[in-house]
Structure 1
Amino acid sequence: MASLVPPFTEATAKAKVQRAEDLWNTKDPNKVALAYTPDSVWRNRDQFLRGREEIIGFLQKKWDVEKRYKLRKRYFCHNDNKIAVEFEYEYLDEVAGQWWRAYGIEHWTFNQDGVMERRDMSANNIPISSEERMFK
């Protein structure tokens, strides 16, 4: 397979999306953070993060609350060094005993080495019942 660095083709962009899905589903903040530049900038809903240390802290807190997390990402479109992704994920808030599904969009910008330097994410959560779960 071709290298997963810009400029992306449709095939390499889709492979990059699959690699990101696989990585996030490890729920390992240290591994996930390596996909981002040391000074990466994130907008995650209403939070703004800068750098791997903030990303790691954010992800640790996220997965401390979001139990049984399972994510699916879908390629939407791309250009030279950018990829847009649709996603959905489910998780259980064990404290409240409530399942949730999140739907959203991400816009990714990569440096010349194929490492993400910017991630803009917008999403909405909806409560679901255990029976409504798609990712069992």
Structure 2
Amino acid sequence: MLREDTIPDARETDPADPRYAAAFDAISADPNQLLVSAELDGRVVGTLQLSFLPGLSFRGAWRGQIEAVRIDSSVRNQGLGAKLIDWAVECCRERGCFMVQLTSSNERTGAHRFYERLGWVQSHKGFKRKLREAE
């Protein structure tokens, strides 16, 4: 699924790169992080990362952050992405989160339509500042 990424900056390259394993280990060690995979017939067909973030806003409310949502192209448009997102939202509800949020690159217009169909609302304009180039 990393290789299917259509974002032009080619941020996802070689899945065997040891930096992925190091990131996986760091995320796995953090109780406020979940790496989730969806399986169909014994094959991984979807992934997402779910982070639980404490905050001072809204009287110290926690929020869920969904990132890195991917569905294998061979099984898209079968409702699996919606089920994965719904599962993540319910997980946030169970953890007592005030809200759940996600980001999606400006280039992913199809993903934007998908989230809007699920009832998500574009509420903010996001900004990023790169500190260095990816190696």
- Greater fraction of residues in strand: 1
Give the structure-2-normalised TM-score: 0.27
Give the structure-1-normalised TM-score: 0.26
- Greater fraction of residues in helix: 2
